[in-house]
């Protein structure tokens, strides 16, 4: 190593040190913002796109849209979603898969959003509830379909159409014509 290379590397190192100290110096004089977290819960602003935990979307009548297709379970990279289904007999004699339990393990979720984005019926979403601290790991295993599932009303079968009256061959006599006397005696 010659003298020229030595001084050029010394100059580069000094320049890098000054640049780093400049960033640190700017931070030294900026106004500090301290979050008073437990006390300011009422006016704490959580961004809408924040991903906290999965939750089902229920309508006004208490029904959810999950059809137990297991797409979210297949797309989850960590296997945090487990869907347990059961077979149900329909009134028309066919069988259908129905959701029994939708289990979600918050402790192993990476909040990637693949389950929400691939759900064909938009049945699940992320909530903004960020306070998920628990003392036991078992408390992180949640069942999302916690509301008791209401049975959808069975469709009432349409009544059979009334039978059409058979055409009669009976010919009505006109009312204003008097019967013939000869016909009356023969009868």
Q: Are residues 62 and 138 in the same domain?
A: yes
Q: Which domain holds residue 72?
A: 54-143
This prediction has a pTM of: 0.59
Cα separation of 88 and 95, whole Å? 6
User: How many domains does the chain fold into?
Assistant: 2
Cα separation of 158 and 177, whole Å? 47
User: 98 by DSSP, 3-state: which?
Assistant: strand
Tens of pLDDT along the chain (187 residues) come to 789 899 999 999 999 999 999 988 988 888 888 878 878 888 888 888 889 999 999 888 888 888 899 999 999 999 999 999 999 888 888 888 888 999 999 999 999 999 999 999 999 999 988 888 899 999 999 998 877 666 665 555 666 676 776 655 555 555 555 555 555 555 5
Cα separation of 59 and 37, whole Å? 33
148 in any annotated domain: no
68 in any annotated domain: yes
66 in any annotated domain: yes
Q: Are residues 88 and 123 in the same domain?
A: yes
Cα separation of 149 and 142, whole Å? 17
Question: 97: domain CATH number?
Answer: 3.30.70.3270
Cα separation of 157 and 174, whole Å? 45
């Amino acid at each position: 190593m010659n003298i020229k290379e030595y001084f050029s590397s010394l100059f580069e190192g000094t320049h890098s040190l000054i640049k780093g100290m400049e960033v640190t110096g700017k931070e030294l004089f900026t106004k500090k913002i301290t979050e008073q977290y437990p006390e300011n819960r009422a006016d704490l602003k959580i961004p809408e796109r924040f991903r906290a935990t999965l939750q089902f979307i229920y309508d006004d009548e208490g029904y959810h849209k999950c059809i137990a297709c297991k797409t979210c379970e297949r797309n989850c990279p960590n296997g945090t979603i487990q869907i347990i289904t059961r077979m149900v007999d329909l009134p028309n004699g066919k069988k259908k898969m129905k959701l029994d339990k939708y289990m979600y393990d918050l402790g192993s979720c990476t909040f990637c959003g693949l389950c929400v984005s691939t759900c064909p019926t938009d049945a699940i979403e992320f909530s903004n509830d960020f306070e998920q601290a628990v003392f036991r790991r078992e408390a992180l295993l949640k069942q999302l379909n916690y509301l008791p599932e209401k049975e959808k009303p069975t469709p009432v079968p349409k009544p059979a159409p009334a039978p059409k009256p058979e055409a009669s061959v009976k010919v009505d006599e006109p009312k204003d014509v008097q019967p013939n006397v000869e016909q009356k005696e023969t009868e």
